[in-house]
Structure 1
Amino acid sequence: MAKRFPKAFFVFLGALFLLNLIQSFFTPLIYDETYYWYYAQQLAWGYFDHPPMVGFLIWLGNSILAGELGVRFLSCILGSGTITILWLLVDNDLKKKYVPHFFLLLFSMALFNAYGFLTLPDTPLLFFTALFLFVYKKFLKEPSIVMSIALGVVMACLMYSKYHAVLVIIFVLISNLSLLKNKFAWLAVIIALLCYVPHFKWLYDHNFVSIEYHISERPNQPYTFEGFTLGYLLNLIVNFGLLFPWFYWVLFQSKPKTKFKKALVYLSYGVIAFFFLSSFHRRTQAQWVIVICIPMAILTYEYLLQNGKSRKWVYRISMVSAVLLLYARMGLIHKPMLPIIYETHGNKEWSKELKNIVGDTPVVFENSYRRAPMFSFYSGNETFSLNNIYYRRNQYSIDSSEAALQNRRVAYVTPFATSGDFSYTTLSGRKYFGSYIDNFQSYRKLECQIDDKEIVLNNEELSLTIYNPYEEKLDLNDFNFNVGYLNKYKQLKEIKPLLLTSNNSEQFLKPNDTTILKVKLTIPEKIVPHYIKFAVSKNGLLPGINSTSIKIEK
């Protein structure tokens, strides 16, 4: 052990682990963390937005510890594990002389730093990317059945972390196409696919809702260089902070002589290029390229070990970066230290205010998969995100949360109200109004379909198939049927009533049964639409999201 890890390594690793534990305990959760905490309340092989790894980690952490620390405990462990694996992947004995440089280099990467304690899908993605490269390096030296099994299991864990993980596997493969002729590599692929079968089944059982959302249902915006491509290039800088010139210079001048180093370079360039091309189509987020931190950290540290002048400069600048990031981390806890209101600020306060008003009454939040789990985490109340056509579907659209509140008294909070039975105010000064509903009824899982994949916008009659997934008979006369018109970026621009013609099917729709309504579309007035969505409402609630986007044939 001493040959691989000098004493200084464990001193720095232990100090960083302790820092992350303290940070986890004192820092309130951010919105995404509470959303993934909500995942963990109903363990499954998949969720609307992501594979299940993040939910499993939170569930496991909460089985050990309570509160914020329980949510983040496994992230602290994985963060330390990622650093340990990175150390092992550096092939230079000089590293034992420059342990502080290693930790300062890693600490200077802002998002890598944050994922040392925040529990997000990128946290296990980073860990399993590092572990994948570690196992792959051993596989290159001595391929065997045992190494194939290990590689296959790690690839499956990668894919269970985040769908972006497929890029890691693809670009490593491209760096070494001889793997296509390697029987042990194919065995690893088979093992990975077998391990991933439960998620494939979950996707099939849920009509591939995750894939459909990420590929085709996510709304977009018109392209601008500043908002899309320039924003992406800035994200590449943000990932590496003040040391970004060294990271990219090292990558640029790298001339790999081994298959493993080639994998590091191909992975880095591949991910950068993939999302650069994507930036001409849609906005990218800084964390989408987070995996390049793993190979580029290895390449950069090995370069610094061989270049004393650069090592001195990086050490000095990384000290400044460390001070700034430590200050920012303290600001996550204590609001006055930061010039902005961040997600960790004020959520406990508004949750307490709302809890004092509604007591133990379940709360329905209109169009907010963020505030619903945040309030639930800090209050203990049951919550539900009631998503309407002006918003998007999420985990609340496909799980059992709607059924749990059906026909019960709820407190209904909506951003569209300007008055109500009660109100609460967030730290930013935003005031939300709510009202009590004695018999809450929501039917957001009604499914509307048109047989044709594309339709012509004219006055012709259409056959609309309605599927009732509920265990109760529904009176269709109690519902209002609407159609939403979307532009080519799938942004809702107009909503119109759906005209029901006189020759419709029976009035009542039996449980788990379908009926066909004869309808006509009301021609929109404000736009020339590219897509439509069907939306159903009842009891005065805003129309839901009751179909996918259906293309209009021009």
Structure 2
Amino acid sequence: MKSSLSRKFLLLLGVIFVLNLIQSYTTPLIFDEAYYWHYAQNLSWGYFDHPPFVALMVKLGGLVFEGELGVRFVSCILSAAMMIVLWLCIDDERKKNYEVHFFVLVFSMALLNAYGFFTLPDTPLLFFTALFLYVYKRFLEHGTWLWSLALGLTMAGLMYSKYHAALVIFFVLFSNLKLTLNKYAWGAVLIALACYVPHFIWLFDNDFVTIKYHLFDRPNDPYSFTKYTLGYFVNLIALFGLTFPWVYWSLFKTKNTDKFTKALLFLTYGIIIFFFVSSFNRRIQTQWIIVITIPLILLVFRQIMAHNSIRKWIFRTGIANGILILYLRVGLVYESISPIYYETHGNKEWVAQIKSEIGDMPVVFENSYRNAPMYQFYAHVPTYSLNNLMYRRNQYSIDDSESKVQHQKILYISRRPSNADLEFPKGDGKMYYGQFIDDFESFRKLETLIEEPVSLNFEQNQTFKVYNPYNEPIDLSKLKFNIAYLTPYKDVKDRMAIKATPLEKNISSLPAKDTVSFSFKFPKPKMSDPTYFRIGISENGLIHGINGVNTKFE
């Protein structure tokens, strides 16, 4: 490795690494980073939205540094390591003449640049994708149990980073179907599965909550060509900025000359085609396709070495991209020079404003897994996101955050001005309102269960069950029930109260760790032909929660 990394390469890498460290230290957290910091407060083999590697990164960084740098330190290391691994994937002696061009190419990619210091699940995904390609290249050259072990561990690292990693593994292995007859390839698969067993166990223990949410419970919108498919092509351009014509030209010009090149092509085209097809069903976020930057760096750099015109244009437009990116990076820290409001702006200020008025009082945010961890990170007090039927479930729905604010005086913050004891604007200009609650009590972990196929009949008695997972019984007088009617895209349109009667007589409470059956009748919704319904529970006058899954009418 030492012979492959020249002094110039290490110097250029060191400049970017130090720049990322400085950026990490000076830039306030973005909301997703705060959310993953919340993950890291309780290490686990899985979390509501993602596998656990991002939480491990935050935890390890926090052992070395405090504050924002602690959250991002491992990201800076993985970003630098990713560039080294990509460089080692290039087995062309000419590469030493174009080290500056390599860094211009990498630095010119805006999202790849951002993930050089932001701590998000895509950061380890990018590193392990590069490492996977490197190991796969060596595996093709030396099919041994040692490389089989390395390949298996790398695949496990990919899957522990983000579920989209399955596409990376599939398209690379699909490019070489002869691997189905290769004992070392099967060994790598078995090693990866063995490493992934703890996450499988976590999913099972948590009723596959992550899979159910991503596949079945996420709301969607009606198809829009402009918003979905055209927006997807805009994202493909935005990934590369001014260099995009030459990046895609390099892709189209690349010939399938060997198994490794074939893997790079299958991975790139596979991801592009997969999400193009997906764009007819949902809006594709730019970060979902960022993984194509890894194989494209290798393919484009080949063209840089081989073609003078491509080399000049990539260098010129890459420099222009890099200058713009540097300006925007400074704008992340100094709002006054930023052309747009960004989520790094103003968070410390609104947190400080609230804390100056309430001190160390816990804060409960209505429907905000973003604001709750941000406030906790900067104010160092317990917070909780109370999710209701108009929002979505998240990590606060399954962890122990609720227990830390029970029966305490708290400030309840929402976007609703009624009965507000204080109000404050955030940096985005939106007004938020706070109400003091002297003895906060919530039961958001109660589950409503529908066990039989249901048709929308307004006269017939229906049944559902409520499971109480708490260690204490819950007085039924504290609870009220409602029905949420949803569209085919799982948007809540109607919310109506229902009278739920226990099937057993003389039931006045929900027993701890037990289930109670109730009867009810569907109220007539204002909307026509609802597709889904969900039964929610309100406790102590709070807005009804997300206590059940979206159930489709027959």
TM-score range (shorter-chain normalised) is over 0.9
Distance 1:344 1:65 in 2: 20
How far apart are 1:27 and its partner, in Å?
Answer: 0.5
Q: Does 1:262 align with 2:262?
A: yes
Per-residue deviation, 1:454:
4.3
1:196 and 1:266 mapped to 2: Cα distance?
25
In 1, the alpha carbon distance for the partners of 2:239 and 2:309 equals: 24
1:501–1:303 distance in 2 versus 1, CA, 3 Å: same
Q: Which residue of 1 aligns with 2:279?
A: 279
Change (3 A) 1:90 1:509: same
- CA distance in 2 between counterparts of 1:544 and 1:204 reads 24
* Structure 1 unaligned residues grouped into runs of 5+: none
1:55-96 deviation digits (Å, cap 9, x = unpaired): 000000001100000000000000000000111111211111
The 1:454/1:132 distance shift into structure 2, 3 A limit, reads farther
Which residue does 2:8 correspond to in 1?
Answer: 8
Give the match's secondary structure for 1:291: helix
Give, in whole Å, the separation in 2 of the partners of 1:296 and 1:43.
Answer: 34
Q: What pairs with 1:4-153 in structure 2 (closer than 5 Å)?
A: 4-153=4-153
Correspondence for 2:171 = 171
TM score, norm. by length of structure 2: 0.98
Aligned equivalents of 2:113 and 2:273: distance in 1? 24
Q: Is the 8 A contact 1:167 1:271 kept in 2?
A: yes
Shift of 1:318: 1.1
CA contact (8 A) 1:357 1:422 kept: no
Aligned-pair distance for 1:3?
A: 3.1
Check conservation: 2:502, 2:517, Cα contact below 8 A. no
Which consecutive residues of structure 2, in runs of 5 or more, have no partner in the other structure? Answer: none
Work out the CA distance in 1 between the residues paired with 2:503 and 2:241.
65
**Corresponding position of 1:301:** 301
Determine the structure 2 residue equivalent to 1:221: 221
1:149-190: CA deviation from partner (whole Å, max 9, x where unpaired)? 111111011000000000000001110000111111111100
What count of residue pairs does the alignment treat as equivalent? 553
Q: Which residue of 2 aligns with 1:160?
A: 160
- Distance in structure 2 (CA, Å) of the matches to 1:429 and 1:395: 27
Q: How far is 1:297 from its partner?
A: 0.6
Contact 2:503 2:517 in 1 (8 A): no
C-alpha spacing 1:70/1:102, structure 2 compared with 1 (3 Å): same
Q: Distance in 1 between matches of 2:192 and 2:501?
A: 52
Percent identity reads 51
Q: 1:428 offset after TM fit, Å? A: 2.8
Residue pair 1:504, 1:518 contacting (<8 A) in 2 also: no
Distance in 1, matches of 2:40 and 2:162, equals: 16
1:45 is displaced (CA, Å) by: 0.3
Which residue does 1:512 correspond to in 2? Answer: 513
Counterpart of 1:532 in structure 2 is: 533
Helix, strand or coil at the partner of 2:553: strand
Does structure 1 residue 523 correspond to structure 2 residue 516?
A: no
Q: Which residue of 1 aligns with 2:399?
A: 399
Using the alignment, how far apart are the partners of 2:370 and 2:61 within structure 1? 21
Equivalents in 2 of 1:362, 1:120: separation in Å?
A: 27
Distance 1:170 1:440 in 2: 48
Contact 2:367 2:387 in 1 (8 A): yes
| RMSD (Å), alpha carbons | 1.1
User: 2:416 maps to what in 1?
Assistant: 416
One-letter identity of the residue aligned with 2:299: L
How far did 1:543 drift?
0.3
Q: How far does residue 438 in structure 1 lie from its aligned partner after superposition?
A: 1.1
Residues 456, 522 of structure 2: 8 Å contact kept: no
TM-score by length of 1: 0.98
For 1:465, the equivalent position in structure 2 comes to 465
What is the CA distance between 1:501 and its match in structure 2? Answer: 4.7
Match of 1:439 in 2: 439
SS of the residue 1:413 aligns to: strand
Specify the SS of the correspondent of 1:3.
Answer: helix
- Deviation beyond 4 Å, 4+ runs, structure 1: 501-505
CA distance in 2, matches of 1:310, 1:279: 31
Question: Aligned equivalents of 1:419 and 1:248: distance in 2?
Answer: 56
CA displacement 1:446-485 (0-9 Å, x = unmatched): 1111111444343211111110001111122321000100
SS at match of 1:204: helix
Deviations 1:177-209 (A, max 9, x none): 001111111111000000000000000000000
Q: Offset at 1:503?
A: 4.8
Match of 1:345 in 2: 345
Alignment map for 1:472-511 (pairs within 5 Å): 472-501=472-501, 503-505=503-505, 506-511=507-512
Deviations 1:331-356 (A, max 9, x none): 10111112211001000100100111
